[in-house]
Amino acid sequence: ADEADIGPTARAAAPAIEQLFVAAAEGVEADVFERQLYLIRKRASHLLRTDTSLQQRSLFYICSLSSKVMIYKGMLTPGQLLPFYPDLNDPDYQTHLAMVHSRFSTNTFPSWDRAQPNRFMSHNGEINTLRGNINWMQAREGLMKSDLFGDQLESLFPVVEPDCSDSGTFDNVLEFLLMTGRTLQESVMMMIPEAWQKHESMPEAKRAFYEYHSCLMEPWDGPASIVFTDGQYIGAVLDRNGLRPSRYYLTHDDRVIMASEVGVLPVDPKLVKYKGRLKPGRMFLVDFDQGELIADKDLKTEFSERRPYAQWLRDQRITLPDLASDTPAEGLNEETVLERMQAFGYTLETLQFMLLPMIEEKRDPVGSMGNDSSLACLSDEPRMLYDYFKQLFAQVTNPAIDSIREEIIMSLESYIGPESNLLKSAEGHAHRLLIPHPILSNQELTDIKLMDHRGWRSCTIDITFAKSDGDAGMLKAVQRICQEAEQAIEDGYSILVLSDRDIGPQRLPLSTLLACGAVHHHLIKGALRTRVGIVLETGEAREVHHHCLLVGYGADAINPYLA
Per-residue pLDDT of the chain (563 residues; tens, 9 = 90+): 666 678 888 888 888 899 999 999 999 999 999 999 999 999 999 999 888 888 888 888 999 999 999 999 999 888 888 889 988 989 999 999 999 998 777 767 788 888 889 999 999 988 989 989 999 999 999 999 999 999 999 999 999 998 888 999 999 999 999 999 999 999 999 999 999 999 989 999 999 999 999 999 999 998 899 999 999 999 999 999 888 889 999 999 999 999 988 888 899 999 999 999 999 999 999 999 999 999 999 999 999 999 999 999 999 999 999 999 999 998 888 888 999 999 998 888 888 888 888 888 887 787 776 777 788 998 888 889 999 998 877 666 667 777 777 888 889 999 999 999 999 999 999 999 999 999 999 999 999 999 999 999 999 999 999 999 999 999 999 999 999 999 999 999 999 999 999 999 999 999 999 999 999 999 999 999 999 999 999 999 998 899 999 999 999 999 999 98
| Closest to 445 measured CA to CA, from 549, 333, 536, 542 | 536
Q: How far apart are CA 305 and CA 456, in angstroms?
A: 30
Range(s) of the chain covered by CATH 3.20.20.70: 318-369+417-560
Question: In which element (H, E) is residue 225 found?
Answer: strand 224-229
| Closest to 42 measured CA to CA, from 50, 32, 54, 31 | 50
What DSSP state is assigned to residue 459?
A: E
**CATH annotation of 96-315:** 3.60.20.10
| Closest to 229 measured CA to CA, from 65, 73, 99 | 99
| Closest to 97 measured CA to CA, from 75, 76, 70, 128 | 70
Query: Contact, 107 vs 165, CB < 8 A?
Result: yes
pTM (whole model) above 0.85: yes
Query: Contact, 239 vs 221, CB < 8 A?
Result: yes
Count of positions (residues) in the chain: 563
Domain 318-369+417-560 CATH superfamily: Aldolase class I (3.20.20.70)
| Closest to 511 measured CA to CA, from 557, 478, 544 | 478
| Closest to 474 measured CA to CA, from 521, 517, 519, 515 | 515
Q: How far apart are CA 449 and CA 473, in angstroms?
A: 27
Q: Which one-letter amino acid corresponds to residue 441?
A: S
| Closest to 556 measured CA to CA, from 138, 173, 192, 215 | 215
CA 251 to chain centre: 37
Residue/partner pairs of 540-547 with CB below 8 Å, 24 or more apart: 540/344, 540/345, 540/384, 540/500, 540/509, 540/511, 540/512, 540/513, 541/512, 542/346, 542/350, 542/354, 542/355, 543/354, 543/386, 544/364, 545/386, 545/389, 546/386, 546/513, 547/438, 547/439
Range(s) of the chain covered by CATH 3.60.20.10: 96-315
3-state DSSP call for residue 463? coil
